[in-house]
Amino acid sequence: MLTLDAFEEAAAKVKEVTQETKLIESSYFSEISHNRVFFKPENMQRTGAYKVRGAYYKISTLTDEERDRGLITASAGNHAQGVAYAARHYGVKATIVMPTTTPLIKVERTKALGADVVLAGNVYDEAYEHALKLAEENGYTFIHPFNDLGVATGQGTIAMEIVQELPLVDYILVPIGGGGLATGVSTLAKLLNPHIKVIGVEPAGAACMKASLEAGHVVKLPSANTIADGTAVLEPGDKIFPYIQQNLDGIITVDDDEIIVAFLDMVENHKMIVENSGLLTVAALRHLDFEGKKVVSILSGGNMDVITMSSVVQHGLIQRDRIFTVSVLLPDRPGELVRVASVVADNKGNVIRLDHNQFVSTNRQAAVELRVTIEAFGPDHKKQIVKALEDEGFRPKLIQAHL
């Protein structure tokens, strides 16, 4: 049972390995959502995510014999580092099975903590099956990333810290993958103050908890498709599901495009790197149907590899019309390129890429294609530049931008 005594015990225990993550008030998101918005920055934990809480508390409750047999888990990355960190603290072996799609930074950091890493399967559920097989073959003690009440108790300590710092919090937004974090946070929040509302946030491409709540029982999705790899789970935990049914006040789903925009928002306004799964609650702030409340968004992690980060930034700039591409047809004669560049420059645009195609027409003297990728300040500035090109007779055509 998830009891107040257990949560209090866990809150004291996890302080041995966690950093203090004080709430950060966001004037930017407060203005957008018409609420007072605070972030709980678990991306600043030593392992880069909240998962160390549940892993450490769960392992602290094991017997010496259970620990000495060696620990094993399956994880997309953050729970892996939590288990590895806790195992090193207790001086025991840890084996981590991770999906082959796990970002390299999570794999390398897990290895750096002393764990053996095995890559298997394309999603968490496939890695999980392989981990169970290895546990049976080698006698390891399995530490489930979310379908375990001890793990959920450790994760729930976040709610205690939120309430201690912001006693009159109205809403807590929590990301959902398998549901361990949402279980711990929502259960403890209700124990501390039944008036606190806890809203779960899932990626639209892997909304297994939403489907399960609608069905009234645990549902397994046929597939998961989302850039939020840490929450790409096909099936929520059956042990924790009853607590979710009782204590969660609703679910918001967000698209991947919204996560990309949220990444830019956090970098530009808070100078923080938050991984895609941790950005779910940031994206959800634009979906709130209430105003004037104190809202805490849990930023669950910040373990994002540089390649993914680069891709997200590029797509985000394109989505926000900060970068766009136009195609214009020009006669193949000297000075035409300068004319186009001059119009862009006169309107404060910045040309960042040019592609010249002489073979768009069989008559090169009549027309060659020039594709111009331009940096702008946003949608209005983009429209201004396109109109200026039209006014000069270039007939620009907007096409998909690629960097």
Catalogue the active-site residues.
51, 300
CA angle 285, 286, 291 (to 5 degrees): 75
Q: How far is it, in rounded angstroms, from Cα 354 to Cα 377?
A: 19
Q: In sequence order, which residues have a C-beta less than 8 Å from that of residue 325 and are 6 or more positions away?
A: 353, 371, 372, 373, 374, 398, 399, 400, 401, 402
Distances (CA, A) of 155 to 16, 97, 145: 14, 21, 10
- Tell me how far apart the 2 most distant CA atoms of the chain are, in Å: 82
Given a contact cutoff of 8 angstroms between Cβ atoms, the answer to whether 154 and 60 are in contact is no
Given a contact cutoff of 8 angstroms between Cβ atoms, the answer to whether 26 and 12 are in contact is no
Q: How far is it, in rounded angstroms, from Cα 264 to Cα 257?
A: 11
> In whole angstroms, what separates CA 145 from the centre of its chain?
17
Given a contact cutoff of 8 angstroms between Cβ atoms, the answer to whether 282 and 160 are in contact is no
Helices assigned H by DSSP within 178-252? 180-192, 208-215, 241-247
Strand order in the sheet with 94-98: 116-119, 94-98, 71-74, 141-142
